[in-house]
Structure 1
Amino acid sequence: MQQALSELDEGNKPPQLQSFLEANARTRAKGLVDEGTLTELVGPADRYTSPHLPILGEAVEFDDGIVTGIGLLGRRPTIVISQDGRFIGGSIGEVSGAKMAGALKLALELYQRLSLDGAPPPLEKRPLVLISFETGGVRLHEANAGLLAHAEVMDLLQDLRHKVPVIGLVGSKLGCFGGMGFVAAATDAIIMSQFSRIGLTGPEVIEQEMGRSEFDSADRALVFRTTGGKHKYIIGDCDFLVEDSIAAFRAQVQQLAGLPMAEIESLRCIGSPALIAKQMAIVDAISQLMPSDSLDVWRAAGNEPPQALVDLSLEAFIASVKRYSPSAADR
């Protein structure tokens, strides 16, 4: 009963004051843009549902587990894509994939419309894309359509390069895994909270395939040390860590949105031979450490004792943490 009352109180708060972790996809989408400006695209009223799930005896949702819309952040037209992990784990199928791809196409169309004689739009009117990830990746019920959607989205992210900033937000309960982990890595910048996770293969899948001795998915402390925001910040898989509120994510987005495109792109993890080489150097250096736990990586980065970072507040963590670099293993 107490938990139900707490959730009710949370739902009565204005969107921006709510926990990013606890909010649903629609609340996050509304709270990231200026109040009252979000217009949902292909929303529940349009009743586009998966054509495949009923054949398999599965229930459908009228938004197919993803909210797409356009709003304003100041004067900027802002495309929001917000996944909902409560529907089949936020997985991507034919309809949800088409909605995601369509939103990215709209961002490119807006950029072209706002460009004057081939010149980019003024900074204050430059379109922006925000993707709130909450997903396990491809929907196995409609895997071919889901894989095609992943490929189309990755292609569209390349079309938006150097034009429209695409910012990934990972702060939900489910986190971002599977093929969507690749999509997140291909965005221009990633913002996380310490309470969410990002990766390619989820803990349960690793345990299933490799055994509990390799990775115990029930060990929540281990899971968060390995895939959570603090570890991803240390090894450079996310650019910013923020508090768990929609307002905190929005504030970081606003700060990024005001930067020139070149500065935003400098935050990318991948996207050029040099960036790929840097990532491979990090992977190689960490592999040579032969770590038995992420704490070994934290120590190699110069954090001593590494365990102390686990319980630090976000502010204290950001102020004291040392981030990993390819040369860290030589220390």
Structure 2
Amino acid sequence: MRYSELQRKSFLEATARERAIGLTDEGSFTELAGPRDRMMSPHLPILGEAVSFDDGVVTGVGLVGEHPVFVISQEGKFIGGAVGEVHGAKMAGIFRLALTAYDHAAQEHPHDLERYRPAVVVSFETGGVRLHEANAGLLAHAEIMDLIQDTKGKVPVISLIGSKVGCFGGMGFVAAATDVILMSPQGRLGLTGPEVIEQEIGKEEFDASDKSLISRTTGGKHKYIMCDCNELVEDRIGAFRDALCGLLNRPYSSLCRCRRIGSYELVREQMALVRLAAQLNPSDSKDIWRYYGNAEPDLIPEMEVKEFLKTAHRRPREVE
């Protein structure tokens, strides 16, 4: 597929490899630890499960302008994008490469670091830990969270969420810990997946077959109103790329102000939201949308992105 066609392709329908290539400058992406290297899970064959030669994640490096961009792109078609030992090791390796690139850029361009500052971009499509190798998957989550802390003050970490599986489980924690989150309306973000919620507390409380309910609760528009995602874009690879280019042209300090966790002030902000939820006791996300000034919440799910961004009222941030 030509690069120009890739830019027009639906982010929701794209493969992990198409997303990785399309997010970086044309012809600049180099895949690392790809299928030819056959880095497969050592655990799945023992359990009689099929393997993938890239273990369900595409990793590599490309350019966005003069910024080296280290890409992690998960593939939901392989075990739901779940993280096992090799999958997690590939993700961790990308963070380490990005930190090494930062040290090199700081040495080579000490007075022009903003121009050459590397970034990590994670295209999430995952339900979290791979249960087939749960201990290794949990350790990988912890290692990646630790590496994200190592990037603070050095390398921006940007999350993209717009693929079919969404971003759930422990990887929801990982996404929340990054600096910036971009979503499409089709993207979904949460800790516990809809099926698990229904299983644990009942269909009357949360019907996992109700796609509209799932979208209103975990989808991009709701996360944008709640400021759990920083920017909402249309469902095209090119739209995510344009937003990414815009972010990387901003000073690093401004990206740090997009964070949702990581400081005492942000903890206080989250605690205020918990108190508000207890006070309002909403039966649906629409109740929250109305509380924040959206007078006609029933219209929001069907709005096009441009119209939504013009009219939507977001939760006011206490921390800027």
User: Whole-Å Cα distance in 1 between the matches of residues 3 and 149 of structure 2?
Assistant: 39
Q: Does residue 1:280 correspond to 2:271, yes or no?
A: yes
Q: Does residue 1:38 correspond to 2:29, yes or no?
A: yes
User: Whole-Å Cα distance in 1 between the matches of residues 119 and 299 of structure 2?
Assistant: 37
Q: Does residue 1:238 correspond to 2:240, yes or no?
A: no
1:257 Cα deviation (Å)? 0.3
Whether the 8 Å CA contact 2:3–2:22 is kept in 1: the answer is no
Match in the other structure for 1:151:
142
Match in the other structure for 1:4:
none
Specify which of 287, 300, 325 is matched with residue 291 of structure 2.
300
Q: Deviations over 1:283-312 (max 9, x none)?
A: 221221101111111111111121121211
1:106 Cα deviation (Å)? 0.3
Match in the other structure for 2:17:
26
In the superposition, relative to structure 1, how do residues 178 and 295 fare at CA in structure 2: closer, same or farther (>3 Å)? same
Match in the other structure for 2:85:
94
1:260 Cα deviation (Å)? 1.1
Instruction: Please state whether the residue corresponding to 1:14 is helix, strand or coil.
Output: helix
User: Whole-Å Cα distance in 2 between the matches of residues 11 and 197 of structure 1?
Assistant: 28
Alignment of structure 1 residues 110-121 onto 2, 5 Å: 110-116=101-107, 119=110
1:11 Cα deviation (Å)? 9.1
Q: Which runs of 5+ in 1 are unaligned?
A: 1-9
Instruction: Please state whether the residue corresponding to 1:233 is helix, strand or coil.
Output: helix
Give TM-score scaled by structure 1 length: 0.93
User: Whole-Å Cα distance in 1 between the matches of residues 305 and 232 of structure 2?
Assistant: 8
1:118 Cα deviation (Å)? 9.7
CA RMSD of aligned residues (A): 1.7
Specify which of 128, 131, 134 is matched with residue 140 of structure 1.
131
Q: Does residue 1:207 correspond to 2:198, yes or no?
A: yes
User: Whole-Å Cα distance in 1 between the matches of residues 205 and 184 of structure 2?
Assistant: 26
Alignment of structure 1 residues 117-128 onto 2, 5 Å: 119=110, 122-128=113-119
User: Whole-Å Cα distance in 1 between the matches of residues 72 and 274 of structure 2?
Assistant: 30
User: Whole-Å Cα distance in 2 between the matches of residues 175 and 320 of structure 1?
Assistant: 25
Q: Which amino acid aligns with 1:145?
A: A
Specify which of 230, 236, 258 is matched with residue 249 of structure 2.
258
Whether the 8 Å CA contact 2:3–2:26 is kept in 1: the answer is no
Instruction: Please state whether the residue corresponding to 1:116 is helix, strand or coil.
Output: helix
Q: Does residue 1:310 correspond to 2:295, yes or no?
A: no
In the superposition, relative to structure 1, how do residues 34 and 139 fare at CA in structure 2: closer, same or farther (>3 Å)? same
User: Whole-Å Cα distance in 2 between the matches of residues 317 and 116 of structure 1?
Assistant: 44
Q: Which amino acid aligns with 1:205?
A: V
Q: Deviations over 1:82-117 (max 9, x none)?
A: 000000000000000000000000000000011138
Whether the 8 Å CA contact 1:282–1:325 is kept in 2: the answer is no
Whether the 8 Å CA contact 1:137–1:179 is kept in 2: the answer is yes
User: Whole-Å Cα distance in 2 between the matches of residues 302 and 186 of structure 1?
Assistant: 28
Q: Deviations over 1:16-54 (max 9, x none)?
A: 221101000000000000111111110000001000001
Q: Which amino acid aligns with 1:294?
A: S
Q: Deviations over 1:296-330 (max 9, x none)?
A: 11111111121121211111111111112489xxx
Q: Which runs of 5+ in 2 are unaligned?
A: none
1:76 Cα deviation (Å)? 1.1
Q: Deviations over 1:171-205 (max 9, x none)?
A: 10111000000000000000000011000001000
Specify which of 159, 164, 175 is matched with residue 168 of structure 1.
159
Instruction: Please state whether the residue corresponding to 2:60 is helix, strand or coil.
Output: strand
Q: Which amino acid aligns with 2:137?
A: G
1:13 Cα deviation (Å)? 6.6
Q: Deviations over 1:263-291 (max 9, x none)?
A: 00000001111112112212221221101
Query: How many pairs were matched up?
Result: 318
